[in-house]
Every structure is written in structure tokens, then in C-alpha cells.
Amino acid sequence: MCSIMGYCGDADDILFEKGFSRTISRGPDASRIVDTGNGRLGFHRLSIMGLTPSGMQPFELDGSYVVCNGEIYGFEALKKALSDRYTFKSESDCEILLPMYREYGTDMFAMLDAEFVCIIYDGETGTYIAARDPIGIRPLYYGYDTKGTIVFASEPKNLVGLVDKIMPFPPGHYYKDGEFICYCDIAKVDAVCSDDLETVCRNIHDKLVAGVEKRLVADAKVGFLLSGGLDSSLVCAIAAKKSDVPIKTFAIGMKEDAIDLKYARQAAEYIGSDHREIIITKEDVIASLDKVIEILGTYDITTIRASMGMYLICKAIHEQTDLRVLLTGEISDELFGYKYTDFAPDAEAFQKEAEKRIRELHMYDVLRADRCISVNSLEARVPFGDLDFVRYVMSVDPELKRNTYGKGKYLLRHAFEGGGYLPDEILWREKAAFSDAVGHSLVDDLKAWAEDFYTDAEFEAGCRKYGHARPFTKESLLYREIFEKYYPGQSEMIADFWMPNKSWEGCNVDDPSARVLANYGDSGK
């Protein structure tokens, strides 16, 4: 990861530098702030592509500047097409952005196969343009100072004290001349794909393999998070087939009741990875809670629970290895369905829910992966978020994606049934929530801690303080009050709690864990 920031007008240098310094862990290798003549652009670098000093940002072209946190896949072809008109000085993928902007203007954003955010200062017009990838895998936030000047930054913590209201930059949009303009709604389906089941599964296989393969390209060392669940195991299995040496995989579990560790170990043995286990305790979890909520910038129960294990495993990877890039398994659930989507009343409802979840992912699972990984000076890459893959799966007839097979995510499982990717016990394993599978005691310990933190009277009074996303359990109140300590009055950065669709029969529950659903069954065993 890297960190970027742009103050799009007269800036208070001291406040800018203070805010920008809060995310140096995203880019500890080098830092630079430039005065554009009409504001400031800042960049903290984590060296991944083009490791030499020539790859340092902001890049400049005839008085225009750009800062970008991202990976642009297939940039070599774009660079080659531009090389007869522009001279490139580095091997950085992001150096192509200013030449592309010069040639194509804001049409360039729809041309990118990337997970990215960028801020461009157009030296000719004296204006700023910013953009974010269609899923929002890379973070960007914005707000306005007291003079009405817009400020952009990688994380909300950069903007605390600089702006009144902090909001996430909408994915698939670019900002220009005071407006946010959608260039790609990745969840929208223009035409439903009519491919038969076997064709669909063959395409899912080929597109996911391509998505993993392109994310293995890096000038820095790459590792993998392996929970032992279907999604991360598939990413690791594909990568292992593409690698000439054993890939490095990592799993985490509670000391008392780690569910995932045995499955991760089994998957690692099968694919022949260099595997490492991280064991954590109740004390590790409780001691990290305040820090995790600070780095996340959320009060959402699901996100925080799932972040405890992810933060601690990434912390261990940072401290014990020289890896810089981690591939993860996020976004599969939103595409193929989760335990609660088994309750969708029909195909139309399933598809509508998938569209909603994909559009909101940047506030939840994608946010979790970014913050837990980046705060430990690592970069996240998400193969299930490959744009070509997402577009295709979203377009598949939702009737095929619904769980009418007696097994969730049947299409994804069937797509990799041949080829020796995974043992059947992993490929057909029931879905288990990550926070639960790290150990049921992780969630139970957090809930018990919150129960002891408040009396019933204190809980009732505490909940009444909040209008937006009002807490409804002692656990949610505890998280909200820690959040408010670091981000006072900024709850609208998150739309609401990530919960099952309460309007569906069987989903009107008061806890986001799939453990409370009637169909959870043997998922956590």
C-alpha cells in the first residue's frame, strides 16, 4: 500500500503535514510533499513496482502532477502504446497516468484494469481530478475545510481536524470541477448472461485463474493469507500451480478452539506451501481492540470481529518476514452468496442483494482487508475483485447462483472440481464466518467483555446518545464509543451495520454472525 493526500487549494502546511503523517505506515519507504502552486500533494511510498528512486511520486509532466495508490494490471501494453510520445523514467506502473490523462482525459479511468485511487493536478487548468476503482479496493476519503476547499486522503484519520465532515470517495467515480461523476457501476448488469451451467463454471475458472495470475506480478515479495475456507484456499491453490517454488501461506487461530487451522494446514500440505501458523489468545484480542477500531475507522460489528484475527496475523507477518504483498480471498461471498442469501425469496432478490453488497463493500470487508494489511506496511491484492471476473459473475443468471444445489457457492466449487486444485474436504467445506472460524471464543470473548463493561442502565443511556446507526447491543455500543473517541461525529462514513437482510424470513436477527442462522449447521466444525 501507499498513502496519498491532496489539499486542493490554499493549505495550512502544518495541519497538512500533521494529518498526512498519521498514515506513514502505509508507505514507510519514502515520503514527499509537493507544492503544485495551487495546493499540496503528498505521497508515502511502499515500494512494490519499480523499486528504484525513479519510481517515487508525485510524478510530474509539464507542470501537472499525480499521486496514486494502486496497481495497474497490464500497464506494460499501455506504456508501449504511449512510448512514441512520452519518455518514461521508471518501471512504476503509475507513471503512465499523466500521459494517459494528457491523451484521454477522464475517459482514461474506464480504460484501467486496476485497483487504484489517484489525485491529479492539471497544471494547464489549475484544477484537481481524483478517481477511485470501481469496487473501492483502494481507499480514498474527502471533506471540505472551512473555506470550502476539498481535501482528499487515503484514510479518514488524515482528515480529522482538517475538515468538518469526512466521507468515503464513491467507488467507480471521478471528481472534477466540484462534481462526482460515475464512470463505472460494476454492480449494474446491462444484459443477463445466458450461458449454461458448465460454460459458466468454465468461465469462472478461467477468469479467476487470470485474476490470480496477474496479481502475482510484483518486484517485492508476495505471500498469502490462508484460512482453510474455500475462497482463500482457491487463491492459494491457483498461485501454487503458477509458482515454481512453494508459496508462503499464513493462518491464524485462537489458542483454545481454532477451527480454521486444521483446514488451512490440510490445504497447505496439499498444495505444498511453506506454511506458518499464528496462535493468539483472549488477551491478545482484548488488548488489540482499541487499536483495531482506530485503524479501521468503523463501529461495524462484523468488520471489527473479523479484523481482530486479520490485524494480528498481518502484524506477525510484518514483524517476522520480509514480505510486502498479500493475496486474500475477499469479495467471493458477495458475488456467490453467503449463508444468509440462502433465504433469498427469489432470484431477483438474490441479485438485488448482491448489487447492494458489491456497491457497499468498500465500507466493510474491503475496508477491513485494506486497513489490517496496510497498517502493517503491506499491500493487499484481491483476486476475487478482478474487474473482468466481477463483471462476469454479476451478469450470470441469478437463478444459477442461488443455492438450489444443497451447497452454497456451488458454481465456484464446481468450477474447480477438476484439475487437482484442492482436496474435496476443502473444496466442499461448509462456509464458516472468518471471525468464528479463527475460534468461536474470539467472538464470545468480545461479547463477554462488552457485557461486563456496561450495566443495563448504562447501556440504555449510551444507545440513546446516537441517532445514526444506533447501537443495539452492549458490544455495538462499546465499539461505537471507541470509534467516537478517534472519529467524533463521523459515523456517516459507514452506511449502517453489515447485517443479514432483515426483510427476508429467517434473517431478522440481532447478531451479524452466521452462527445465529438456522442453516449454519456444521459450518463451524
Q: Where are the alpha helices (DSSP H) in 338-473?
A: 347-360, 365-374, 387-395, 398-401, 410-415, 424-427, 434-437, 440-453, 456-464
The DSSP 8-state label assigned to residue 488 in this structure reads T
Give CA–CA dist 263/266, Å, rounded: 5
Locate 288 and state its grid cell.
Answer: 488489540
Q: What are the CA-CA distances from residue 335 to residues 30, 268, 429 (Å)?
A: 37, 25, 18
CB-CB contact of 70 with 57 (8 Å):
no
Query: Residue with C-alpha cell 498444495?
Result: 271
Q: Which residues contact 371 (CB under 8 A, 6 or more apart)?
A: 139, 155, 295, 296, 297, 307
Q: Which of 2, 68, 184, 201 is an active site residue?
A: 2
Catalytic residue check, 2:
yes
Q: Which residues contact 422 (CB under 8 A, 6 or more apart)?
A: 233, 234, 237, 267, 270, 271, 416
Q: Which residues contact 144 (CB under 8 A, 6 or more apart)?
A: 150, 151, 163, 164, 165
| Strand intervals (E) in 194-316 | 222-225, 248-254, 274-280
Q: Which residues contact 103 (CB under 8 A, 6 or more apart)?
A: 82, 85
- What's the one-letter identity of residue 268? A
Q: What are the CA-CA distances from residue 61 to residues 58, 128, 291 (Å)?
A: 10, 15, 40
- What's the one-letter identity of residue 446? L
Give CA–CA dist 201/410, Å, rounded: 9
CB-CB contact of 202 with 415 (8 Å):
yes
The DSSP 8-state label assigned to residue 216 in this structure reads T
- Tell me the catalytic residues: 2
